[in-house]
Amino acid sequence: MPARRIAQPLVLHDAFAFPGGGENVAVTLARAFGAELWAGAWEPAAFPDGYFDVPPRSLDAVRARPLAARLSKTLAMRLAFARFPETAAPLAIHSGALCLLAQARLRAPQILYCHTPPRILYDHRDFYRARQGALRRPLYDLLAADYRRAYERAARAMDAIVANSETVRRRIETFLGLPATVVHPPVDVAAFQNLGQEPFFLSTGRVDVLNRVDVIVRAFRDLPDKRLVVVSGGSELDRVRALAAGCPNIDIRGWTAGNELRRLVGTCLATVYIPRDEDFGISPVESMAAGKPVLGVREGGLRETVLDGQTGILLPPDPGPEDVARGVAALDGAKALAMRPACEERARKFDTAVFVEKMRGVVRGVMPS
């Protein structure tokens, strides 16, 4: 069957499961380039009205490949993209770690916007492997090795690779031996406004094993006069709720989005965000856009966004509860207010308009002359 031909560019994203930073990158790219948007899967109920100009087309990977999905949803997604409909288009931009496996099915100049090389294959490989049971581990190793070969083959076939941060650019160079251009993700700076200051700290990091929200909660358990609000969910949510049980100063709200999230960011004293070697981290930029300093960590992308002592405080790598407690004590209301102008100025460097302009430059570099 001949490849279908389309006049629009393509933007491919792994999956639209919730409105996160990677999802915003894909939607912004589709909007900027008038592209047809595809995903391995998407959950319409998770997205507010108006989030998409045109809803994504879905490969429906998990339901279409139930046997593969029983072994691994990642495997089902891999197979779906590897069998993407053959398409000829003027341009294809991949935003993710699985969608680029459609590379061989596309006749177009192709760009990878890399949020990070898959951490399960590289720097966090041993961590994720150890979470597999002994019986599953041989199969896990086999599937991971196959995924790695496919990922590296597709990455090397790209006409250009864009890293979302200097941290990720170094990972690409280290793990893949490939060059990449840094273009930071887009942040809708105007959407986050300073709405005053109320005496609470806000945690917006996803509640999973890498984001150390449990460390933040442990710190506030010993700070009964300081209030913490946690506005995210994830695989560790029940455990974090158990840690906070009996602490009236800790409010675990779970997933919070839209106007309520913007209100909380706009009224908090400061945000707390201490993930392990974060790829980039959009939440700190949103915090600074609202004039709120960030209690962060000197790891990963936060070293590129938060200016220590000017737009927040960066804790030492691998912080414990006592480090967080010291940071909270140092970041009082007066200091947070004094940082507001620097925060707002810093955030403007990551605005959506800056992202689009830089990506247009990358696209011009791969298009036929």
Q: What is the CATH number of domain 4-186+352-366?
A: 3.40.50
Q: What is the pLDDT of residue 242?
A: 96
H/E segment holding residue 264 = helix 258-267
Question: Considering only CA atoms, which of 193, 354, 208, 211 is closest in space to residue 287?
Answer: 193
Q: What is the pLDDT of residue 258?
A: 84
* pTM passes above 0.85: yes
Domains 4-186+352-366 and 189-350 agree in fold: yes
- Quote the CA–CA distance of 366 and 157 in Å, as a whole number: 13
Torsions phi, psi for 351 (to 5 deg): -65, 155
Partners of 46 in beta bridges = none
Third-level CATH fold of 189-350: Rossmann fold (3.40.50)
- Quote the CA–CA distance of 153 and 350 in Å, as a whole number: 31
Mean pLDDT of the chain, nearest integer = 94
Segment 339-361 mean pLDDT:
97
Per residue in 96-115, pLDDT tens? 999 999 999 999 999 999 99
What does the longest C-alpha to C-alpha distance in the chain come to?
68
Domain boundaries, the chain: 4-186+352-366, 189-350
The residue behind tokens 């960011």 is 265
pLDDT of 66 over the 90 cut: no
Segment 161-187 mean pLDDT:
96
Residues 240-264 as b or e (16 or more Cβ within 10 Å = b): beebbeebeebebeeebeeeebbeb
- Quote the CA–CA distance of 69 and 60 in Å, as a whole number: 11
Q: What is the pLDDT of residue 18?
A: 83
